[in-house]
Amino acid sequence: MVGRVGVRPPALCALLVALLAGAQPMSDLEIEQNRDAVATMFSDAFSGYMKAAFPHDELRPISGGWTDSLIELGNVPSPRRDGYSGVALTLLDSMDTLAVLGNHSEFAEAVRWVGEHVSFDQDAIVSVFETTIRALGGLLSAHVLAAGAMPGFAHMRVGGYDGALLRLARDLGDRLLPAFEQAPRATGLPWPFVHLQRGLCEQPVAEQCTAGVGTSILEFALLSNLTADERYARASLGALGRLWARRSAHDLLGTTLNIHTGAWINPLASIGAGVDSFFEYLAKGARLLDSSELHAMFDSAYAAVGAHLQTGPHFAVADMNDPASRRQPAHGALQAFWPGLQCLVGDARDAARTHEVHMQAFDKYGAMPENYSVRAGRGEGRVFAGHEPYPLRPEVAESTLALYRATGDHAYLRFGARMIASLNRVAKAPFGYASVRSVATGALEDHMPSFFLAETLKYLFLLFDLRNPLHAQAGVLLSTEAHLFPTLGASGLPHDVWLALGVGKGREASSGELRQC
Ligand SMILES: *[C@@H]1O[C@H](CO)[C@@H](O)[C@H](O)[C@H]1NC(C)=O
Ligand SMILES: *[C@@H]1O[C@H](CO)[C@@H](O)[C@H](O)[C@H]1NC(C)=O
Ligand SMILES: *[C@@H]1O[C@H](CO)[C@@H](O)[C@H](O)[C@H]1NC(C)=O
């Protein structure tokens, strides 16, 4: 069990239900209709991608075109297009959604195609973070499903499957490893970008974000477990430990740092952009590996957020070294994952209050603006100029699902139904669903991010598919990209791998030789 607070007294649960009361219970028929509506949305968007964009990375849902976008993700300074021909990113990302939807034939076909055709042997520079969570995570999850080894999903076993996706995952893991193994010696902090064929030799970016360092333990630990090759888990734990060693006296981390010096470039602590999944992976890593070390790190980090950033349902941005002096209120779409994390660690009551603010922002605009302001206490949203897009992000749906599973309150089903209606009203496009460029004007962007199929629709489907095998499985976790990962327990990694975490020791664990280019 992860988390400071395990069980809430019944009186508080009753209070929570009373607070949210007023929502009409949703009938079984209505729940089923919503589930079918999400399945139809998935099928429209997935077949739109397969017809118009596959095997390229992502769909242009308005024009029916495509984009090889993996090389653009993570704010790469200047994407180099020549030499990169796509890895069917949307398919990699949505294979396990097909499994969650119970579509065995389409899942098996995707597994076969990816195993035969996808190659990462490309002359291209990619974001380690984005490639890890979308591509590596998607491959590992689909591998475990296809092998019939995902708890609750044995029916997804693919006859004759020979482990091709794990071979591909391992090949990709080897291409990502130089970011860790050739980290600058002074800090041991990993590089944010990597050249898929040549390792690091072409990318000089030294500004790394907290989430970029702290979001690989699920994928790298599972890869190490499945391949019996410790290097991946060792690299990921080492990076995490060295990042943690750079926290402030308040147990806060900033947003970005320089990997040559370890100095914080942006010392603002938050739960939003650039930091978010760092917290998530401490909590989920602790659960995946039944690790008291990660659990203790999470508890400290979570307590620091509660003490220095949280005021009631709201979360501020503040200086990691002097959180009292430079506190700014902040409301952003990425923060909306936090209530889901709180449910995971047993704080559903707090989660409900925070999620209320996010639901109001979504209801007000029919979409989740990237940033908005809130008038004191009233949840009255106003979009900051210039921060108006809604790129079909999953976080609000994720927290809605977590809160419904934690409380059983039909207010969350009602909200999910409003999300479905909204998406169909504001984002439906001829070939799929389009990112919203401005929630104020309703203008659309000709882009459907792969995570819309991997995450947003998966969470919404799970919200209404009450008998989905996932709900009965304590043995399956969802990654930050909503990929299904089987929990491994304390025997998931050999004991000495944990030494790499070296909590509190900082820099000396830096491994690997510097390769001359
Ligand atoms: C599985 O997916 C395919 C392709 O989207 C679709 O044609 C088929 O109807 C789906 N089957 C089920 C049972 O949903
Ligand atoms: C708005 O949100 C985006 C992403 O969610 C973030 O990168 C940016 O820093 C936020 N801006 C403000 C003013 O909060
Ligand atoms: C993988 O994890 C399982 C427990 O879930 C464990 O029994 C097995 O030994 C692990 N494999 C390796 C190579 O560490």
323 pLDDT band, cuts 50/70/90, is very high
Task: Ligand 2: list residues with CB < 6 Å.
Answer: 272-273, 330, 332-334, 370-371, 384, 387
Q: CA angle, 423 as apex, 420 and 428 as ends, to 5°?
A: 130
- Exactly one of 130, 319, 409, 465 is catalytic; name it: 130
Residue with tokens 């809160």, as numbered in its chain: 403
Q: Is the pLDDT confidence value at 507 over 80?
A: no
Which residue has the least CA distance to atom 5 on ligand 1?
A: 43
More confident site: 246 or 19: 246
Could you say which of 181, 276, 319, 350 is catalytic?
Answer: 276
Residue 509, pLDDT above cutoff 60: no
Indicate whether residue 486 lines ligand 3 (CB < 6 A). Answer: no
Which among 277, 327, 331, 371 is the best mutation to test ligand 2's pocket, defined by most ligand atoms within 8 Å of the CB? 371
Least distant ligand from the CA of 54 = 1
The confidence band for 203, taking pLDDT boundaries of 50, 70 and 90, is: low
Q: What was the pLDDT predicted at 205?
A: 86
The confidence score (pLDDT) of residue 1 equals 32
Q: How far is the CA of 43 from the centre of ligand 1 (A)?
A: 7
Q: Which residues of 228-242 are buried (b: 16+ CB within 10 A; e: fewer)?
A: eebbbbbbbbbbbbb
Report pTM: 0.92
pLDDT band, very low/low/confident/very high, at 389 (cuts 50, 70, 90): very high
317-331, 362-376, 467-481: which has the minimum mean pLDDT?
362-376
Tell me: pLDDT of 164 over 60: yes
pLDDT interval class at 81 (50, 70, 90)? confident
The answer, yes or no, to whether residue 504 has pLDDT greater than 80, is no
Q: Going by CA atoms, what residue is nearest to atom 12 of ligand 1?
A: 103
Tell me the per-residue pLDDT of 259-284, one tens digit each, with 9 for 90 and over. 999 999 999 999 999 999 999 999 99
Q: Is 106 a catalytic residue?
A: no
- Give the whole-angstrom CA distance, residue 218 versus residue 132: 10
Whose C-alpha lies nearest to ligand 3, atom 5? 488
Q: Per-residue pLDDT for 9 more than 50?
A: no
Least confident residue range of 53-62, 143-152, 385-394: 385-394
Give yes or no for residue 47 CB within 6 A of ligand 1.
Answer: yes
441 known ligand binder: no
Per-residue pLDDT reduced to its tens digit, 249-262: 999 999 999 999 99
The dihedrals phi and psi of 153, each to the nearest 5 degrees, come to -125, 30
Average pLDDT over residues 433-460: 96
pLDDT reported for residue 378: 55
Distance between CA atoms of 117 and 124, rounded to whole angstroms? 17
- pLDDT > 70 fraction of the chain, expressed in percent and rounded: 90
Q: How far apart are CA 162 and CA 141, in angstroms?
A: 15
Going by C-alpha positions, the residue among 41, 98, 93 that lies closest to residue 429 is 41
Looking at residue 2, its pLDDT comes to 35
CA–centroid distance, residue 479 to ligand 1 (Å): 25
Predicted local distance difference test score (pLDDT) of residue 4: 35
Task: Please state the rounded mean pLDDT for residues 478-496.
Answer: 98
Q: Which atom of ligand 1 is nearest to the CA of 46?
A: 5
> Looking at residue 384, what is its pLDDT?
73
Which entry of 57, 93, 299, 370 is annotated as an active-site residue? 370
Q: Would the pLDDT of 87 be above 80?
A: yes
Contact 390, 333 (CB under 8 A): yes
What pLDDT is recorded for position 276?
96
| Side-chain half-sphere CA neighbours of 148 within 13 A | 8
Looking from the CA of 207 toward its CB, the CA atoms found within 13 Å total: 12
- Residue 484 β-bridge partners: 478
How does the average pLDDT of the chain come out, rounded? 91
Q: Would residue 276 show up in a list of annotated catalytic residues for this protein?
A: yes
Burial of 118 (0-12, 13-18, 19+ CB in 10 A): buried
Structure tokens at 216: 């690989």
Q: Is the CB of 496 under 6 A from ligand 3?
A: no
Beta strands in 116-244 (DSSP E): 125-127, 193-195, 207-209
Tell whether ligand 1 has an atom less than 6 A from the beta carbon of residue 46.
yes
pLDDT value at 19 more than 90: no
Ligand 2: which atom is nearest the Cα of residue 333? 5
pLDDT reading at 318 higher than 70: yes
- What is the rounded average pLDDT of the residues 127-156? 98
> pLDDT tens digit string along 418-435?
999 999 999 999 999 999
Contact (Cβ atoms closer than 8 angstroms) between residue 477 and residue 218: yes
